[in-house]
Amino acid sequence: MILQASHLKKAFLEDVVVEDATFHVEEGEHAALIGRNGAGKTTLFRMLAGEFEPDGGEVFLKKDASVGYLRQESDLQSGRSVFEEVLSVKQDVFDLEEAIHALEHKIASENAPEPADLDRYARLQDEFEKKNGYAIQSEITGILKGLGFPEERFAQPVFALSGGEKTQVALSKLLLSKPDVLLLDEPTNHLDLKAVTWLETFLSSYPKAVIVVSHDRYFLDRTVTKVIEIENGRTRSFFGNYTAFAEKKKAVVEAEKKAYENKQREIRHQEEVIETLKSYNREKSIKRAESREKLLAKMDRPEKPFEDTSKIRFTLEAGRLSGKDVLSVNALSKAFGEKRLFSEVSFEVRRGEKLTLIGGNGTGKTTLLRILNEEVSADGGTFRFGANVTVGYYDQEHRTLSPGKTVFDEFHDAYPTMTETEVRNLLAAFLFLGDDVFKQVKTLSGGEKSRLALAKLMCSKANLLLLDEPTNHLDVDGREALEEALRNYPGTVFSVSHDRYFMNAVSNRILELYHAKILNYEGNYDDYAEKAEQFHLLSDGRDQAGGTHEKPLSEGKKQHLEAKEAEAARRKHENRVKALEEGIEIAAEAIKAVEAELLLPEYATDAEKLLELTEKKEALEREQEALYEEWAEIVG
């Protein structure tokens, strides 16, 4: 064990943020710390990093273990270049290199070098090699490029970078320093899909402990083997990735609720028996009642399970049906100065489609969406909306919100026919309770602004939604609520997103801005990921051939694609086997739970309940048998 948190507590004035946080992390273990916005994740991280002193409890760290902490926003203000700033992490290696060069110069200038100098030279060289001194510069280049920094910007001064870019530099420094415990607070916030994928690969092979705070569920599925949830100020640990956690958490909550209800039923039964015995008003009956009262007083009474009511739930409706042809884009082009974003982009959108536009940072995704919303003019080309199309727009920067207005006025001014009661009830559904509606928009957090923008969008009744990074700033509960609403939405969705879990849950078509052109993929993100490399190779071939013919693939590229397809098939097979095995295990546990219910005394004479439980057990057994058959067919 390298780190342990024991009964940590932290409050700010009357606001108790962390009540009782207890968990541990083993050496080399990769864990996620999750919880809704405001649950205390960052506060807990700052206690682990030693920045906050706990009000109670302790943090135990293995002797001499180093801790590296990535904050959500970096405050780097260095005048050094990007490369020099990252290089500074390895100053000890460069000091070692200077010592080696100085010793080389001394040895070369002497006719008969001192044996002690030769020994020291050998020791320094050995230490330099162990610290990977010969490969430091290439390692830095690999990390910076992996996280999305092009080599031509390595010389740019750090102070001139955007906030997101400074965070990328801070992350690069941390990854290069390789601390024993890596604390990462939302590391994917400023990374595009390619960089996130690179970071996943890096962390998967990182041999030391990692604790990551992230709302990126796809990222968590690929990088962690343990989930620590903070809820109501307390923590609870689950083994497995995010998807496994979600399934286990649901089962745990249901089991705790059922156990509590059973215990309450038993207590009520005992109280009724005591009252009945007392009503007989006989000495023997009163003694029996007193005896039962003593037993009842000693009975373990579990706390009522915590029920989180701070979850948004909403639906999205379309006011009227649009025509089948919703949007037609023809030869659209845009550049800013010398920087060309895209050229001659063309595509069609049909009614009911839920498509997502993806691409690297700076490729023009948001610009394209703003052109469609008529906020920005295209340099060339045209676009046309179909019959009866009404557009609803969600801006990731929340420029459509007025900073000086209150939450109530921001909403009511958009929908003036709604009564005060109707507005307050609707805002309450988006977690703006009580005096929250009188907060000024400029004082809201990113998550609060997102919820307000979604509330306005919900009431627009638009049948085409243009959504720019709609899951940014939302916690997992908010993301799941949005995904559910979009899945059931009868209109058309055109979103820009880098949230792969969101794309898998919602999207049925992916458009990619690649080398200033549009590539089209049917299906969700996983479908895109299987086909992307081949599409890229074919697209590159067309570009190099003047845009008219596909460039024939070399034998090496063909073999690479075949190997890639074989690897994808192998992964798909392994994932299906794993999913079946987990399904069989879950079904077995559910069957056991039903069998336990069948044995409960209170159901012994309840024929209706017994029949319901029996039918449920039989359905679960059929489901389990079907899973077994598929598993045997795949494995066998």
Q: What is the rounded average pLDDT for all residues in the chain?
A: 86
Q: Are 89 and 173 in contact (CB under 8 A)?
A: yes
**Is residue 157 within 8 Å of residue 81, measured between CB atoms?**
yes
Distance CA 414, CA 47 (A): 43
Helix H or strand E segment including 514: strand 509-514
Rg (CA), the chain: 30
Centroid of chain to Cα 86: 26
| Alpha carbons 292 and 274: distance in angstroms, whole number | 7
Q: What is the pLDDT of residue 550?
A: 41
Q: CA-CA distance, 359 to 515, in Å (whole number)? A: 9
Is residue 566 very low, low, confident or very high in pLDDT (cuts 50, 70, 90)? low
Q: What angle do CA 242, 244, 248 make, to 5 degrees?
A: 115
The whole-angstrom separation of Cα 358 and Cα 370 is 15
pLDDT at 175: 93
Instruction: Check residue 542 and give its pLDDT.
Output: 57
CA–CA gap between residue 278 and residue 286 (Å, rounded):
5
Contact, 45 vs 3, CB < 8 A? Answer: no
Q: Are the C-beta atoms of residues 109 and 95 closer than 8 Å to each other?
A: no
Residue 558's pLDDT is 56
Read off the amino acid at residue 256. Answer: E
Rounded to a whole number of angstroms, the distance between the first and last alpha carbons of the chain is 40
Kindly tell me if the per-residue pLDDT of 551 is higher than 50: no
pLDDT: is 271 or 48 the higher one?
48
pLDDT digits (tens, 9 = 90+) for 464-507: 999 999 998 888 888 999 999 999 999 999 999 999 999 999 99
Distances (CA, A) of 103 to 92, 111, 126: 17, 14, 14
pLDDT given at position 13 = 85
Tell me the pLDDT band of 333, cut-offs 50, 70 and 90.
very high
Return the closest-CA partner of residue 532 out of 194, 226, 146.
194
Share of the chain residues as helix, strand and coil, in percent rounded to the nearest 5: 50, 20, 30
